[in-house]
């Protein structure tokens, strides 16, 4: 009888212990991480995060040289003996420097959902401001390559000329007659008429050349001490030099240098490592252009991964026939080092090493690293 009682008590204790353990296990915190897709139903309290991707910002510093002929270029040799003057308007572009920066943004192809049967408490979830927590607008439509807006320089103002003449027209006088009725007779009374006649380009060129020679002669006399009046400072000589330069440009033309900066954004993908990618076309005559332009020389971007993370365990969607899911695991990315080279016509314009997130491997991290204590 006692044996039966002891056996019943033992079974009761065992049953109560098993029930408590099962209830404790059922009520314990369970965190599940799975990729975000159209088939995933978001529950209240779910947390969405994204793996980062790297975006390149390439800045091209370009120099545009514009040569404009002067209005009296045809008379430069005849009046001043100048040769090899600018005869037609020309434009020349050159690359002065290239720099590249990179930044991280949310990768719209790597979005994950964290679900938990308890309140999610994070300790370091805000450690990355761009990429760990998905913003409302993660720039999904971020362009692969875009051309920055550049301010057009004042070329029209540069084309304006002071023709270097004190008079642009001549007054011509002529005698005209008018008929007046005097004592029933008509008589002719003469009067003077003044007419303005615009000077021809050749006449204006002669006046400008004469004034230029007068400036040179006056400066020579001042510098040699032959002048009757001497300036009190070098400001007068500087002003004479400025006037001389402006008059000379009327015959020889002038050159303007415009420094401009163009910025391109490029998102590297793994398929870009197979061969160089054409990011734009560059012409010495017209400057930078789109890839689809029919003129210009292609500017190539070459990406060579060093594959430093290739031996790490890789987790991808669809592996082993199932979707990427896990319990108490957070998926993160280890960026890989890539060698960057920008070249044109076989000449290397830029070379560097960068960390690129999307070239690295996706790894697992214990969920309690960022969730809970």
Domain boundaries, the chain: 31-156+256-369
Q: Which residue has the higher pLDDT, 1 or 125?
A: 1
Per-residue pLDDT band at 373 (split at 50, 70, 90): very low
CA distance 150 to 144: 19
Residue 261: is its pLDDT beyond 70? yes
Rounded to 5 degrees, φ, ψ at 184 are 65, 20
Give pLDDT tens digits for 188-198: 777 777 777 88
Asked if residue 63 lies in contact with residue 94, where contact means CB atoms within 8 angstroms, the answer is yes
Per-residue pLDDT band at 163 (split at 50, 70, 90): confident
Give pLDDT tens digits for 51-87: 888 999 999 999 999 999 988 999 998 888 888 899 9
The pLDDT > 70 percentage for the chain reads: 70
CA distance 363 to 315: 6
Asked if residue 58 lies in contact with residue 98, where contact means CB atoms within 8 angstroms, the answer is yes
Secondary structure letter of residue 90 according to DSSP: E
| pLDDT given at position 5 | 53
Asked if residue 353 lies in contact with residue 308, where contact means CB atoms within 8 angstroms, the answer is no
End-to-end CA distance of the chain: 52
Tokens representing 60 are 């091209």
Query: What contacts 335, CB < 8 A, 6 or more positions away?
Result: 54, 309, 355, 356, 357, 359, 360
| pLDDT given at position 260 | 87
Most confident residue range from 120-129, 218-227, 302-311, 341-350: 341-350
C-beta atoms surrounding 337 within 10 Å: 16
CA distance 134 to 367: 18
Asked if residue 71 lies in contact with residue 199, where contact means CB atoms within 8 angstroms, the answer is no
Give pLDDT tens digits for 89-135: 899 999 999 999 998 888 888 888 877 766 565 544 444 444 444 33
| pLDDT given at position 55 | 92
Residue 310: is its pLDDT beyond 70? yes
Q: What's the chain's length in residues?
A: 373
Q: Which residue has the higher pLDDT, 82 or 167?
A: 82
**Strand-by-strand arrangement of the 287-289 sheet:** 287-289, 277-283, 297-305, 329-344, 347-366
Per-residue pLDDT band at 182 (split at 50, 70, 90): confident
Taken in order 43, 44, 46, 48, the sign of the CA dihedral is positive
Burial classification of residue 66, based on how many CB atoms lie within 10 Å of its CB (0-12 exposed, 13-18 middle, 19 or more buried): middle
CA distances from 116 to 120, 131, 327 (A): 7, 21, 10
| pLDDT given at position 29 | 57
| pLDDT given at position 203 | 86
């Amino acid at each position: 009888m006692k044996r039966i009682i002891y056996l019943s008590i033992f079974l009761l204790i065992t049953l109560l212990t098993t029930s408590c353990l099962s209830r404790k296990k059922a009520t314990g915190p369970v965190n599940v991480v799975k990729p975000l897709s159209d088939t995933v139903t978001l529950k209240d309290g779910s947390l969405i995060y994204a793996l980062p991707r790297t975006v390149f910002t390439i800045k091209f510093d370009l120099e545009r040289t514009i040569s404009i002929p002067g209005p009296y270029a045809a008379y430069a040799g005849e009046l001043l003996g100048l040769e090899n003057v600018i005869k037609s308007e020309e434009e020349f572009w050159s690359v002065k420097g290239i720099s590249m920066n990179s930044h991280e943004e949310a990768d719209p192809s790597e979005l994950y959902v964290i679900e938990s049967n308890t309140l999610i408490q994070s300790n370091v979830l805000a450690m990355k401001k761009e990429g760990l927590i998905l913003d409302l607008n993660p720039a999904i439509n971020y362009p692969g390559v875009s051309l920055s807006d550049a301010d057009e320089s004042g070329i029209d103002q540069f084309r304006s000329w002071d023709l270097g003449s004190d008079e642009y027209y001549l007054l011509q006088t002529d005698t005209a007659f008018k008929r007046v009725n005097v004592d029933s007779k008509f008589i002719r009374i003469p009067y003077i008429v003044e007419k303005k006649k615009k000077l021809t380009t050749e006449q204006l060129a002669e006046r400008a050349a004469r004034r230029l020679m007068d400036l040179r002669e006056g400066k020579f006399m001042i510098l040699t001490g032959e002048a009757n009046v001497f300036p009190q400072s070098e400001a007068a000589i500087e002003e004479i030099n400025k006037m001389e330069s402006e008059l000379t440009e009327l015959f020889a033309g002038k050159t303007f240098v415009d420094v401009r900066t163009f910025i391109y954004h490029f998102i590297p993908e793994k398929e870009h490592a197979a061969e160089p990618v054409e990011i734009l076309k560059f012409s010495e005559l017209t400057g930078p252009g789109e890839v689809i332009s029919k003129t210009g020389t292609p500017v190539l971007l070459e990406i060579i991964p060093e594959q430093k993370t290739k031996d790490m365990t890789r987790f991808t969607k669809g592996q082993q026939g199932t979707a990427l899911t896990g319990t108490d695991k957070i998926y993160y990315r280890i960026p890989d080092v890539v060698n960057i080279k920008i070249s044109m016509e076989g000449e290397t314009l830029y070379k560097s090493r960068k960390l690129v997130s999307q070239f690295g491997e996706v790894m697992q991290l214990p969920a309690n690293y960022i969730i809970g204590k």
